[in-house]
Amino acid sequence: MATKVKPGAQSATERGYTDLHEHIEELRKAGLLFEVDREINKDTEMHPLVRWQFRGGVDEEDRKAWLFNNVTDSKGRKYDIPVLVCGLAANQEVYKLGMRCELDQIKDTWIRALNNPIVPNEVDFDDAPCHEMVFEGEELLKGNGVDQLPVPISSPGWDNAPYFAASHFITKDPTTGIQNMGNYRAMVKAPNRVGFNPSIELRTGGYMHWEEWKKLGKPMPCAIVVGAPPVVSFTAVQKVPEKYDEFAVSGGLAGKPLNVVKAKTVDLLVPAEAEIVIEGYISTELLEPEAPFGESHGHVNLQEYNGYMEVTAITRRRNAILVSWVSQVTPSESSAIKRPAYEAAQMEHLRDHLGIKGIKHVCTHEPLTSLHKLIIIQFEEGVPRTEIWRALYGVVSLRRAEGKWVIAVNEDIDPDDTNAVFWAMSYRCKPHRDVEMIRHKDEGHGPRSMVDSEDSAVLIDATLKETFPPVSLPKRQYMEKAAEIWYELGLPKLRPQRPWYGYDMGEWNEDLETMARRAVRGEYWQTGEIIAQKRRGDLKMNTEVRTLGEGTPGAGAREKGELSWDGLKDASHSLDVEPKEPKKK
């Protein structure tokens, strides 16, 4: 049960989290907000404009939040509500501000929140900012319904209407009373009617609640939050067990309870600092056509029958800001806001529930694949093969539609660099030994096949099983010196990609090192004289010296099955340290 408190004029520090207005001010101060004061048509211009920062070659660090202060539509209507796009996850710095922690603390913050939820505080009814303006009944049909809200068209030319993209649906299990909050798209259908598409393939809480209300023969009460404190939005996209109320996880993220208040016309609690809340009832008797709509899997979702909600009230702040997420083809704000939460959930599942040791990172691949299909697990060196396979199977067991291609790599492989992942698959994996297929999986989120309704998963162990020769790039000190010269010449900023220097992977010895050092000193003639003394006539061409027992490096490690190489350790711990651009004098 929520406790009753009177919040008064709390600061973000007292609350433990920022509301949306405070978050926008922090974005502004950090130089992460681009404000547009000229007229922008929400139906044809807004999302295409912001989309360019994801599809126009703009580096992730240069993306920003966009605040549109002068919004119109194709009919010439002017709106008094600004629209914030990419305001929560344009890039990692934007996300970090909303989380109120450093980037390297985000994963642990999520895991702590999932394991330590905090029950929300119920505030006095009249003190809730989300109830500063209330529209009910006939008022909804006099310009004060959904039509007062500047909802953009996400994919002009394909979508059949504006859709709420950052719409947090709050529902309640009629038996247990536990609330759920999930982010689902919502089609604008009438001033007092919106769509309800709860992604049944993902078995979302909203859909399961709808099934329970349907059994009772009653419509399902619902509240849709559009614009909220960042911790609320971050939690809305997370997949948590049904026994948890997402508001408690939001409190876990903040480290303090979330303020909530009773809705006006439905028996639900909503965030007190929400910008806009749409209340109503979702029919459990009838469905109606919805879509086409551009989806996050990169294809247009064709028309299908889905739920709808009859609106009973709209409440909002006087200075409300509508939030819209750029979704569709990834990367997008929608995928960027989900990714840290999804990766933290997988890490917690593998490490804390299955007890698998040695996992460095779980990477849900984002560009075009939309986080669910390609998942890469990065391991510390020396993890037993049995643990690697437990993790591969563990990833596909967490959620029924997650993990179609699951790949294990070592810690010297950057899981965000698919070229590096393909490199590991090409040389560290033998398909007949290191690949398994799991059949009878759910298709999950994506275009639905008319040929085969089932899917499958492929598990790939692309970790090292034996020592390898060094990576054939110049050693680090030579690459760093070359970078200094690069900048002296006034050349563009370098963006190193791993591996950007060569490192030992176990097949290196003192003799080889001595020859290499002679070479850089210009003493390679001496090496030529030495190797001439080792001539033999009893060998085939291409016979490797290491196979003859002449100083075979790494043999002991291979015999013991250990892969603790100093070179690999150096690479994995230091590859993120890029050669620095010198400060200008």
CB 293 within 8 A of CB 279: no
> How many Cα atoms within 13 Å fall on the side-chain side of residue 246?
27
Q: For residue 340, is it within any domain?
A: no
pLDDT band at 552 (very low <50, low <70, confident <90, very high): very low
The Cα 459–Cα 436 span in angstroms is: 5
Mean pLDDT, range 409-434, rounded to an integer:
93
CATH number, residue 233: 2.30.110.10
Residues 292 and 376 in one domain: no
Integer CA distances (angstroms), 411 to 414, 418, 476, in order: 7, 14, 18
Query: What pLDDT does residue 558 have?
Result: 35
Whether residue 301 has pLDDT greater than 80: no
> Where is average pLDDT lowest: 279-283, 408-412, 434-438, 500-504?
500-504
The answer, as to whether pTM is greater than 0.95, is no
Range of 82's domain? 10-324
Mean pLDDT, range 502-507, rounded to an integer:
88
CATH number, residue 428: 3.40.1670.10
Query: What pLDDT does residue 468 have?
Result: 84
Digit-coded pLDDT (tens) for 375-394: 999 999 889 999 999 999 99
Whether residue 562 has pLDDT greater than 90: no
Query: What pLDDT does residue 336 have?
Result: 74
Query: What pLDDT does residue 19 have?
Result: 97
Residues 275 and 359 in one domain: no
Query: What pLDDT does residue 581 have?
Result: 66
Residues 373 and 428 in one domain: yes
Digit-coded pLDDT (tens) for 84-93: 999 999 998 9
Digit-coded pLDDT (tens) for 173-224: 999 999 999 999 899 999 999 999 987 655 678 999 999 999 999 999 999 9
Q: For residue 370, is it within any domain?
A: yes
Q: Which residue do the tokens 């529930």 mark?
A: 353
Residues 112 and 48 in one domain: yes
Query: What pLDDT does residue 443 have?
Result: 72
Last residue of a domain, one of 461, 477, 498: 461
Mean pLDDT, range 72-83, rounded to an integer:
96
Query: What pLDDT does residue 441 have?
Result: 80
pLDDT band at 399 (very low <50, low <70, confident <90, very high): confident
Whether residue 241 has pLDDT greater than 50: yes
Q: For residue 497, is it within any domain?
A: no
Q: For residue 396, is it within any domain?
A: yes
Q: For residue 498, is it within any domain?
A: no
Q: For residue 167, is it within any domain?
A: yes
Query: What pLDDT does residue 545 have?
Result: 87
The tally of domains found in the chain comes to 3
> Any idea what the Cα angle at residue 395 is, between residues 391 and 398, rounded to 5°?
130
To the nearest 10 degrees (0 to 180), the angle between helices 92-99 and 106-115 is 40
To the nearest 10 degrees (0 to 180), the angle between helices 20-29 and 92-99 is 130
Read off φ and ψ for residue 486, nearest 5 degrees: -50, -50
> Where is average pLDDT lowest: 196-205, 319-328, 510-519?
196-205
Residues 56 and 16 in one domain: yes
Query: What pLDDT does residue 201 have?
Result: 56
> Where is average pLDDT lowest: 255-259, 349-353, 558-562, 570-574?
558-562
Residues 135 and 29 in one domain: yes
Mean pLDDT, range 6-23, rounded to an integer:
85
How many other β-carbons are positioned within 10 Å of the β-carbon of residue 295?
22
Last residue of a domain, one of 461, 478, 501: 461
pLDDT band at 583 (very low <50, low <70, confident <90, very high): low
Query: What pLDDT does residue 60 have?
Result: 86
Whether residue 6 has pLDDT greater than 90: no
Mean pLDDT, range 61-79, rounded to an integer:
95
Q: For residue 46, is it within any domain?
A: yes
Residues 257 and 397 in one domain: no
Digit-coded pLDDT (tens) for 124-153: 767 799 999 999 999 999 999 999 999 999
Q: For residue 565, is it within any domain?
A: no
Read off φ and ψ for residue 173, nearest 5 degrees: -70, 125
Residues 534 and 414 in one domain: no
Query: What pLDDT does residue 240 have?
Result: 78
Bridge-based pairing state of the strands 304-316 and 288-290: antiparallel
Residues 251 and 312 in one domain: yes
Whether residue 252 has pLDDT greater than 90: yes
The Cα 95–Cα 241 span in angstroms is: 24
Whether residue 251 has pLDDT greater than 90: yes
Residues 188 and 281 in one domain: yes
The Cα 356–Cα 388 span in angstroms is: 8
Residues 106 and 18 in one domain: yes
Mean pLDDT, range 500-507, rounded to an integer:
88
Residues 531 and 419 in one domain: no
pLDDT band at 493 (very low <50, low <70, confident <90, very high): confident
